[in-house]
């Protein structure tokens, strides 16, 4: 029996090796799709996050801000500013590659221009929530290590001249297709921004990066660290992801805070207040 078992085992190993050698490697579009399911999932969810920014221009300046974000699929996002205190209730809406802002006391939101979306926290939100599965052609340009981890290197080219970046290089870990690094290039070929994804944790939405480190190479030369917490599923009415819906969202956030005993108002409470303004308990 022993010789038979040994031969059988050897045959099985040879068959497995042959299968692995002939297995078709994943294509560029498949790699991109799997990575984007992790980076920007097609789900309805909410998350709280902070941004610590350091400007390294003529004068070094540091700043901190906190936000809550509600996402509806890949292409619609509302971001509520929580601090600094004087800006509590300000909103940014990202919908189908267009952006609006509403300040706490403004009578209506206004749409941001392309130039206004290239800097500051709005640009940071754009980098975090951009949908790379749409509007780009992708190719696999090789493999490369990022922080010691072997990654696929993807090249993304926009399909339209209206794109804010003319080239994106995307490193995706071979193990698990985890996003690791993105480089964004401007119209003259210069490197504009880099994004590093780290601190992967498994939670209600599966395995997700809970830390982004972003470097901007414009005149302010700002570095930003985004730290995420309390990632959870949350459904908000579709009308909230429209310019008109921003008004109800902002007013509910301000009203909920005014009736709060202390501390930050949970996003879920704001959502309940939007559905029924009298329900602020």
d(CA 111, CA 65): 22
Under the banding of pLDDT at 50, 70 and 90, the label for residue 91 is: very high
- The pLDDT score that the predictor gives to residue 14 is 59
- The pLDDT score that the predictor gives to residue 278 is 52
For the record, the structure tokens of 267 come out as 């996003």
pLDDT score of 116 more than 90: no
Which comes out higher in pLDDT, residue 190 or 118?
190
Q: How far is CA 88 from CA 23, 79, 82, 204, in A?
A: 54, 11, 5, 27
What lies within 8 Å, CB to CB, of 189 at 6+ separation is: 166, 167
SS3 176: coil
Residue with tokens 């920007």: 40
For the record, the structure tokens of 80 come out as 């509520």
pLDDT score of 259 more than 80: no
Closest CA to 63 of 187, 175, 222, 189: 222
d(CA 158, CA 15): 42
- 31-138+205-275 carries CATH number 3.50.50.60: no
Q: Pairing relation of β-strands 206-216 and 191-203?
A: antiparallel
CB 93 within 8 A of CB 239: no
Under the banding of pLDDT at 50, 70 and 90, the label for residue 281 is: very low
d(CA 245, CA 80): 13
Considering the chain, what is the average pLDDT of its residues?
A: 87
- pLDDT tens-digit readout, 38-90: 999 999 999 999 999 998 877 788 999 999 999 999 999 999 999 999 999 99
What burial class does residue 77 get, using C-beta atoms within 10 Å of its C-beta: 0-12 exposed, 13-18 middle, 19+ buried?
buried
pLDDT score of 249 more than 60: yes
pLDDT score of 3 more than 70: no
d(CA 178, CA 181): 10
For the record, the structure tokens of 232 come out as 């959870």
- The pLDDT score that the predictor gives to residue 10 is 60
What lies within 8 Å, CB to CB, of 23 at 6+ separation is: none
- pLDDT tens-digit readout, 165-196: 999 999 999 999 999 999 999 989 999 999 99
What burial class does residue 253 get, using C-beta atoms within 10 Å of its C-beta: 0-12 exposed, 13-18 middle, 19+ buried?
buried
**95: which strand partners?**
76, 98
Find the helix packing angle between 243-258 and 267-275, rounded to 10°: 110
pTM for the predicted model, two decimal places: 0.85
């Amino acid at each position: 029996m022993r010789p038979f078992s040994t031969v059988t085992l050897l045959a099985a190993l040879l068959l497995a090796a042959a299968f692995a050698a002939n297995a078709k490697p994943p294509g560029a579009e498949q790699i991109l799709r799997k990575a984007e399911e992790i980076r920007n999932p097609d789900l309805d969810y909410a998350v709280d996050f902070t941004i610590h920014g350091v400007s390294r221009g003529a004068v070094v300046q540091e700043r901190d801000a906190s936000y809550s974000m509600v996402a509806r699929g890949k292409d619609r996002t509302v971001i509520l500013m929580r601090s600094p205190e004087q800006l509590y209730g300000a909103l940014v809406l990202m919908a189908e590659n267009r952006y609006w802002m509403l300040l706490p006391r403004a009578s209506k939101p206004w749409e941001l221009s392309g130039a206004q979306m290239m800097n500051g926290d709005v640009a940071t939100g754009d980098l975090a929530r951009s949908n790379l599965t749409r509007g780009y052609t992708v190719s696999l340009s090789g493999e490369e290590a990022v922080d010691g981890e072997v990654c696929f290197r993807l090249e993304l080219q926009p399909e339209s001249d209206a794109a804010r970046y003319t080239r994106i290089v995307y490193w995706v870990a071979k193990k698990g297709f985890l996003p690791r690094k993105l480089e964004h290039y401007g119209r003259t070929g210069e490197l504009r921004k880099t994004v590093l994804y780290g601190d992967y944790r498994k939670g209600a939405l599966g395995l997700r990066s809970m830390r982004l480190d972003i470097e901007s190479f414009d005149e302010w030369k700002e570095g930003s660290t985004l730290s995420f917490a309390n990632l959870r599923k949350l459904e908000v009415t579709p009308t909230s992801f429209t310019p008109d819906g921003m008004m109800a969202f902002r007013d509910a956030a301000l009203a909920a805070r005014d009736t709060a005993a202390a501390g930050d108002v949970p996003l879920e409470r704001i959502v309940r207040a939007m559905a029924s303004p009298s329900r602020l308990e």
